[in-house]
Amino acid sequence: MNFSIINKNDEAVLALVHYFITEENYTPIIVKGVKDEIWLENLEGPYRIIRINSNSIYNEEQYKIDTFRTKKIIEQIKKKTLSLKVNALNILINVNENVKNHEDAKNINSLILSDVNEIVNNKGILDVFPNIKSKLINKEGLDLIVNVTNDINAKTYKDNVTFSEIFRPKKSIITPILIFICIIIFLLMYILGNGSEDTLTLIMFGANVRSLVLKGEIWRLLTSVFLHIGIMHLLVNMYALYIIGKQLEGFLGKFKYLLVFLGSGIIGSLLSVVIHDTVSAGASGAIFGLLGSLLYFGYHYRVYLGTIIRTQIIPVIVLNLAIGFLLPGIDNFAHIGGLVGGYLITMALGVPGKAKKSEQINGFIVLTLLVVFLSYMLFRY
């Protein structure tokens, strides 16, 4: 006696989920309050969100209600992930034949399908996913369930290994070294000079001054990052570096983290001397660079860090920039330069597990243009 343990709609759902996860690198996301729906996300995919709905839709009114619900959930995803635009593919599997496709909602492309044959012959899917016809799993019943389960488990295991490697606690090495260097230099300014608040001592140890940079002392763009004016300046910056630095060092790895710190510190110093001619020093520009880097990293892992970006990272950046503009004596242009520099350097280096060659190239090009422009403004304008 022959019988089927799943119907053709279920087979279509399983085949689609298998294809999008194993071939197109989509990841399931949890959406509260939904039943018989599967939501998938890929930040770099042709569709950011793919929704596969196997709920029965019998008439036009139910179709409209389903579209409305989909729009509302996507709005929630946009808010949670700080996205201005989210394009989605809405695949409806169990729709009455009398219900026809309506005009798509904004940024939501809806398709009505019923079985695997319709999927592999649907022009709307083939245009975006041309390999689905050859890659869609072609099995039925128990064989389909076993193959889908095994393949998805293997893909999930691989993703979990990558995720665990990035987010597992790691021993911080570069951050303590950077803090140690800043403290040693601070003490040397008192031992070999007249203290950290003395202008001549600051200049002697490498503070950032436009007139001296223009004379060829370009190294000041870097050395000034390790100088601090007064004990409170040192303590505040070292505390911020310890909290932010050890976290980002674990995310990016030691080499990339060091490049972000040094590179964003130099870009912050460069913007500073372009704007004004004062004696400036401090690791604040580099620390803002770490915040910019963390912002870029968090954007790519916003499924996991979306709340932290929205409630912690962005408020800290905005608050500190506001304080910099309101209070005298703060080199806010170094902060802005460092922030932008850290973001672009991380973009050029690539985020572990999410690196995309085209994005890295764009980051490198924009970063180069920024440095060239600031250098031109400093030396030629």
For 245-270, b where at least 16 C-beta lie within 10 A, e where not — what string? bbbbbbbbeeebbbbbbbbbbbbbbb
Q: How many CB atoms lie within 10 A of CB 175?
A: 24
Residue 2: what pLDDT? 42
Q: How far apart are CA 263 and CA 153, in angstroms?
A: 40
Are 122 and 111 within 8 A, CB to CB? yes
Task: Give ∠ CA 295-251-186 in degrees, rounded to 5.
Answer: 80
Closest by alpha carbon to 234, among 282, 279, 174? 282
Q: How far apart are CA 121 and CA 129, in angstroms?
A: 11
Q: How many CB atoms lie within 10 A of CB 212?
A: 18
Residue 159: what pLDDT? 62
Residue 306: what pLDDT? 61
pTM of this structure: 0.75
What length is written for the chain?
381
Residue 335: what pLDDT? 94
At 192, the amino acid letter reads: L
DSSP code, position 353: T
Are 367 and 202 within 8 A, CB to CB? no
Question: How many alpha carbons lie under 13 Å from residue 368 in its C-beta half-sphere?
Answer: 8
User: What topology does CATH give the domain 174-379?
Assistant: Rhomboid-like fold (1.20.1540)
Q: Which residues are catalytic?
A: 284, 335
Residue 185: what pLDDT? 97
Residue 374: what pLDDT? 94
Q: What is the pLDDT tens value at each position of the chain, 381 positions in all?
A: 344 456 677 778 888 888 888 888 888 877 666 677 888 888 778 888 988 888 888 888 888 888 888 888 888 877 777 677 888 988 888 888 777 766 667 788 888 887 777 777 888 788 888 888 887 776 555 555 565 566 566 666 666 666 677 778 889 999 999 999 999 999 999 999 999 999 999 999 999 999 999 999 999 999 999 999 999 999 999 999 999 999 999 999 999 999 999 999 999 999 999 998 889 999 999 999 999 999 999 888 876 676 677 777 888 888 888 888 777 778 889 999 999 999 999 999 998 877 788 889 999 999 999 999 999 999 886
User: In sequence order, which ranges of the chain are alpha helices (DSSP H)?
Assistant: 8-22, 60-80, 116-120, 123-128, 132-135, 141-167, 174-191, 199-205, 210-214, 220-223, 231-252, 254-275, 284-300, 302-308, 314-326, 332-349, 357-379
Residue 39: what pLDDT? 86
Task: Identify the three-state secondary structure at position 43.
Answer: coil
